[in-house]
Amino acid sequence: MRSVIQRVSRASVSIAGSVYSEIEKGLLVFLGIEDSDGLEDIIWLSNKIVNLRIFNDESGVMNISVKDIDGDVLLVSQFTLHASTRKGNRPSYITASKPEIAIPLYEKMIRQLNIDLNKKIYTGVFGADMKVELINDGPVTIIIDSKIKE
C-alpha cells in the first residue's frame, strides 16, 4: 500500500457538486492499493498513520499524533499513486489493483483505522470522480509505502 498523508486544517470530498465528507483538523490520506497488499500491510500502515507524530506540541515541535489531538482522518482511494512513468508520457497503472481486489482492502483499511483511532473514519467513494479540497497545514506531506516500510 502506498499513501500520501497530509496534515490539514480542513479537507473535504465532493461528488457531483455536493460535499460527501469533510473534516476539520486531522489527516487527509490518499491510499493506493496493489494486488500484493494484504492484512499485514493494512495493520502496519493504519498503526503508522494514527501514531505518526506530525502535529506541533506546545513548543512548536512536531511531536503529537492525530490520535493525541483527537483529530479526524479522511481516507480517499487513489489508484494513481501506483502510476509508472518509466516509458513514455502516459502513466501506466498496471500495478494498481482492480476494484474486485481493491474495494475489500480499502474497506478493511477503513475498519482498521476506525479501531486504531477509535473514531469514525471519513471517506470518499471508491471509483467516483471526486473533487478534493484541503488546507494543508504547514505544509506537511508524508509519503509512506508499506512494502518498504517507509
Count of CB atoms situated within 10 Å of the CB of 113: 25
95 catalytic per annotation: no
- Classify 88 in phi/psi space as left (phi over 0), alpha (psi -120 to 50) or beta: left
Q: Tell me, what DSSP letter sits at residue 61?
A: -
Are the C-beta atoms of 29 and 8 separated by less than 8 Å?
no
Q: Which of 80, 85, 123, 141 is catalytic?
A: 80
Phi, psi at residue 120, to the nearest 5°? -60, 140
CA dihedral 120, 121, 122, 125 (to 10 degrees): -120
Are the C-beta atoms of 13 and 20 separated by less than 8 Å?
yes
Residues taking part in catalysis? 80
